[in-house]
A = this chain, B = another copy of it.
């Protein structure tokens, strides 16, 4: 088995630590799976990239002959390789899948839309609506996590990886302040050694890209 995670060759400062290859790196590290990193050009993006990823996004996973995009599909695929990410019981497996979908389909959309519309801009009526939608979800998620360390099976799974990664995007903006259970959960998940290693590795990737750029100037 040979795993390759494809990410961008460079990004500016603000998305560093949040580019979604981190989800794949984190999953591999929790599961003890070796992987290599490949890159596609960020600016301009390439037709070769579009050919394997129709939305010009990253990450892309290659697993021997299989090429897969969408971080949710990638993490679910990696989870299928390791009990560290996926419990054994049929019901628990279905619930891990459910929470990966919940992260990406119910929790991330309001967060991503709010971040996207507010970035660099003054607030308007639409950002206020998105802010309300986002906080409705965060409050509901906080209630789920009250008195509970993990989402499924009483232990860390790929469900926690995805939910925590989706929510941490706004942790630094103070948007989690009203949610003690959610704040503690994100802190706990991002303190895991596999997360820290994946995060540091992604940061080092961009720093190396800076050096390569400097050499070319």
Contact = CB atoms under 8 A, between A and B. Distances in A.
Interface string A51-74: 000111100000001101111110
Q: Is the interface of A mostly helix, strand, loop or mixed?
A: helix
Given A69-B102, A73-B101, A54 B126 contact: no
Contacts of A97: 73, 76-77
Contacts of A54: 140-141, 143-144
A159 to B, nearest CB: 11
Copies of this chain, tallied across the complex: 2
Contacts of A69: 98, 102
A133 interface: yes
Interface stretch (A24-32, A107-115, A168-176, A185-193): A107-115
A143 to B, nearest CB: 7
Contacts of A81: none
Interface stretch (A36-44, A116-124, A196-204): A116-124
19 contacts: A54-B141, A55-B106, A66-B91, A66-B94, A68-B95, A68-B98, A69-B102, A70-B105, A76-B97, A101-B104, A109-B112, A110-B113, A116-B133, A117-B129, A121-B125, A124-B125, A124-B126, A126-B126, A126-B130
Interface of A: 54-57, 65-66, 68-73, 76-77, 90-91, 94-95, 97-98, 100-102, 104-106, 108-110, 112-113, 116-117, 121-122, 124-127, 129-130, 133, 137, 140-141, 143-144
B70 A98 contact: yes
A71 B72 CA distance: 14
